[in-house]
Amino acid sequence: PDLKTMGYPEQVPTLVLNMNHVFVTMEHSHEGGWKVVRRPGADRFFQELQHFYEIVIYSDDVYPVAQDVITKWNLPFWNNVLHRDLCIRKRGHYVKDISKLGRKEEKMILIDWDPVGVERQKENGNLVFFALSN
């Protein structure tokens, strides 16, 4: 969406987060099936950053997986969810192209777990690696 339509001033930076492996992971068990597990501290992370950034989720999942996860999580402050259809597939990876958001690239930060996922805008990309365990 256009910043003017959303009511965001142009000086507010945009934080673009890949959902999987950054702030959630999917776990499967024979008893319970698939389950979304939040990264420890994810709730506080979003509560704090909502005051400083326009938050956009950019997932390499098919539509509407990420949208459903975010909606069920009840995050009141995310602004948009983009899915795999807006990624570029490259050697089994999904490359995000933040230029499609229509924001000034110098005001955008992309956080992803996959180095290939940020290669179109490397200067905006930040990589996060972590493991969730029980």
Answer with the residue of higher pLDDT: 44 or 7. 44
Report d(CA 73, CA 69) in Å as an integer.
6
Which amino acid does the sequence have at 66? A
Residue 7 has pLDDT above 70, yes or no: no
Answer with the residue of higher pLDDT: 133 or 89. 89
Residue 8 has pLDDT above 70, yes or no: no
Nearest CA among 12, 24, 19, 20 for reference residue 49: 12
Report d(CA 37, CA 34) in Å as an integer.
10
Question: What is residue 107's predicted lDDT score, i.e. its pLDDT?
Answer: 92
Nearest CA among 58, 77, 60 for reference residue 17: 58
Report d(CA 16, CA 40) in Å as an integer.
19
Residue with tokens 């999904």: 94
Question: What is residue 80's predicted lDDT score, i.e. its pLDDT?
Answer: 83
Mean pLDDT of 19-41: 87
Residue 94 has pLDDT above 50, yes or no: yes
- Mean pLDDT of the chain, nearest integer: 84
Mean pLDDT of 108-117: 91
- Enter the pTM of the model: 0.83
